[in-house]
Amino acid sequence: MTYINTKVYAGRSKDHMVLMNSSSGGAYTVLSDAFLENGDAVVSAVYNYQTHTTEFKMIHNKQDRDRACGSKYMQSIPGNIFREAYLWIKQHPDKKILFVGMGCQADGFRKYAELMEIRQNVCIVDIVCYGSPSPKLWREYTELLEQRYGGKISYLTFKDKRNGWRSPFAFVRVDGVEIPIGDYVRVFYNQCALRPSCYKCQYAAIDRKTDLTIGDFWHIEETIPDFYDENGCSLFLIHTNQGDALFEKIKGRLEYRVSNKEQCWQINLEMPTTVSEKRETFWADYRKKGIEFVMRKYGVPSLKARVKKKVSAIIKNIHILHIVLGGG
């Protein structure tokens, strides 16, 4: 494995369905296709609708791979996956594994793979990360929803793109009805609920020890405006010759542009998410008054966000009125 100067690309799947079903530009699906079509395996995090946890699984076909698509905003559980991956490689020494996980998980797997001398058989991809909340918080939230709406959650998305990639719609489906989960998403983003280690994350950097990093290519509408697509764009950071060879292999399935570290900059490529000054109160409230209370108190939009929403609705209505009145 040779480390190279980090190469940067913006890219999105040429397949419209793949793009629409992915959180960013479909990097995960495109990368995993290359492995699955060759009889190789994929390790990534799948949502379990029985336990409401996100768990790492060994994946051997596209149907199972599709179950891992989409961002899940809670810490995922590696379980026994490192050992499972090791045993699979030992049984299939001529095969490879694509491992996809958050920075901390991917680096853990890299160290394990080096120790167990299977590094040459694995390609390790990590994901740019804002941080992960406690899985307990999410589990209690789902219990609350299932109780409130009297049914089981059968579908979850944090990044439905019906309003575009930059304004994702998050919802769960209970008995065929879409229930918005914006309160949980606001709690996720308000810097109170992440695990303590996320605020000290050592992987919030551009240069990393995995083969490749994927994430959202935020602000591409400003940095590479002629490559902007409202349905999303992935960021690819290539760190090793193996990552480089993989990108060369998949680039025919992508619309892509060569980019650089300045264009792709976002805060979590420079430093971890900072801790909110309300964090202590948030957890004290949670311990004393429970999940429903903290969702009501911390999951409401800020005054600024509410004003912004109202103003854009008024502008939209004025625009429609203008069209109706024949103003063009």
Interaction between residue 193 and ligand FAD (CB under 6 A): no
> Residue 183, CB half-sphere, CA atoms under 13 Å: how many?
19
Give the Cα-Cα-Cα angle 174, 132, 150 (nearest 5 degrees). 15
Among positions 24, 142, 157, 191, the unique one binding ligand FAD when judged by CB under 6 A: 24
Among positions 25, 135, 243, 272, the unique one binding ligand FAD when judged by CB under 6 A: 25
Interaction between residue 130 and ligand FAD (CB under 6 A): yes
Which class for 225: exposed (0-12), middle (13-18), buried (19 or more C-beta within 10 A)? exposed
Residue number with CB closer to ligand FAD (223 or 266): 266
Contacts of 82 (CB under 8 A, 6+ apart): 108, 109, 112
Among positions 23, 121, 213, 259, the unique one binding ligand FAD when judged by CB under 6 A: 23
Other beta carbons within 10 Å of 62: 13
Interaction between residue 26 and ligand FAD (CB under 6 A): yes
Residue number with CB closer to ligand FAD (20 or 149): 20
Starting at the earlier edge strand, list the strands of the sheet with 177-180.
Answer: 153-160, 169-174, 177-180
Quote the least distance from Cβ 326 to ligand FAD, whole Å. 42
Residues paired with 56 in a beta bridge = 45
Q: Scan residues 276-295 and list those touching ligand FAD (CB under 6 A).
A: none
Interaction between residue 246 and ligand FAD (CB under 6 A): no
Interaction between residue 72 and ligand FAD (CB under 6 A): yes
* 31 close to 246: Cβ distance less than 8 angstroms: yes
* 257 close to 18: Cβ distance less than 8 angstroms: no
Q: What are phi and psi of 97, to 5 degrees?
A: -125, 135
Contact stretch for ligand FAD (CB under 6 A) within 124-132, 141-149, 191-199, 292-300:
124-132
Interaction between residue 181 and ligand FAD (CB under 6 A): no
Interaction between residue 174 and ligand FAD (CB under 6 A): no
Interaction between residue 156 and ligand FAD (CB under 6 A): no
Which stretches of the chain bind ligand FAD, using CB under 6 A?
22-29, 44-45, 54, 68-74, 76, 100-102, 127-130, 132, 214-216, 234, 266, 268
